[in-house]
Amino acid sequence: GSAAFRAWDAKRRDTVTGEVYPTCDCRQPKACGADAAAGEMNKFISMMRLLAEGDLRFSHIVVVDTAFELFRRAWCIAEIVESSCSGVPQRIKVHSARTVDLHYGALADIDVRRCQASLAEDREMILAAITDLGAFNTQLQWSVFGTRGLLSKWVDGQERASLIARIVRRARESRLALEGGDDSDSASTSSDSENARSNDNDLASKP
């Protein structure tokens, strides 16, 4: 009756009929969980890169649920960042403008370290593959909020600049924390906004 059990039970059922998905009854050995190599799940980044290099028509469609839970799932976050870094064209599908309005502000705080996966081993594998978590989170946020980001067509420039200012400030604070510095006397939010607009324009000028 725990929340974890209810979440697990929901994932193994058809969302329309409520029936448990049938399992494969063939005698071929099954690979999952900790056996990532045999299950091929540890190769998804390599596969995305291969597809991007081998087919110019390849693109990434991000279909977002009404609660925007997608942005809290480790696999989804990893795919968004990888396709962005690989130059894969990205498109987003959302339920409505209202769902964007409801959840847009909270997305400025998305952090791969707080994301979840159905299997703890998957989450650990994804985090272990990230060499710089701060840089990864910054790339993730640009991928969502930048001029060419996933949500660029859903909000106006002023609102986007405000959120990017929060991202710039957060990235700076993270960097200073690693360096043992103090950001208490750093520039004001207006300066952050200028940096945000500059970063946003830089993104717009990239091919």
3-state SS track over 168-202? HHHHHHHHHHHHCCCCCCCCCHHHHHHHHHHHHHH
Which residues are CB-contacts of 52 (< 8 A; sequence separation ≥ 6)?
58, 83, 86, 87, 88
Rounded-to-integer distance, Cα 76 and Cα 117, Å: 9
- Read off the pLDDT of each residue in 5-14 and give the average, rounded to a whole number: 86
Q: What is residue 132's predicted lDDT score, i.e. its pLDDT?
A: 93
Lowest-pLDDT range, 76-85, 88-97, 172-181? 172-181
By three-state DSSP, how is residue 32 classified?
A: coil
List the Cα angle 199/163/125 in 5-degree steps: 85
**Domain positions in the chain:** 3-17+37-205
- Read off the pLDDT of each residue in 188-201 and give the average, rounded to a whole number: 45
Contact status, residue 154 vs residue 194, Cβ threshold 8 Å: no
Q: Residue 158's pLDDT band (boundaries 50, 70, 90)?
A: low
Give φ, ψ of 73 to 5 degrees.
-105, 130
Rounded-to-integer distance, Cα 25 and Cα 16, Å: 23
Q: Residue 174's pLDDT band (boundaries 50, 70, 90)?
A: low
CA-wise closest residue to 166 among 199, 136, 133 = 199
Contact status, residue 172 vs residue 186, Cβ threshold 8 Å: yes
For 106, other C-beta atoms within 10 Å of its C-beta total: 11
Q: Residue 199's pLDDT band (boundaries 50, 70, 90)?
A: very low
Q: What is residue 106's predicted lDDT score, i.e. its pLDDT?
A: 82
Q: Give the predicted TM-score (pTM) of the model.
A: 0.67
Give φ, ψ of 13 to 5 degrees.
-120, 150
Lowest-pLDDT range, 63-72, 78-87, 137-146, 178-187? 178-187
Average pLDDT, the chain: 77
Rounded-to-integer distance, Cα 34 and Cα 177, Å: 34
Burial of 85 from C-beta contacts in 10 A (0-12 / 13-18 / 19+): middle
Q: What is residue 61's predicted lDDT score, i.e. its pLDDT?
A: 93
> How would DSSP label each residue in 117-130?
-SSHHHHHHHHHT-
Q: Residue 187's pLDDT band (boundaries 50, 70, 90)?
A: very low
Give φ, ψ of 123 to 5 degrees.
-60, -45
- Read off the pLDDT of each residue in 33-48 and give the average, rounded to a whole number: 72
Which residues are CB-contacts of 75 (< 8 A; sequence separation ≥ 6)?
44, 117, 122, 126
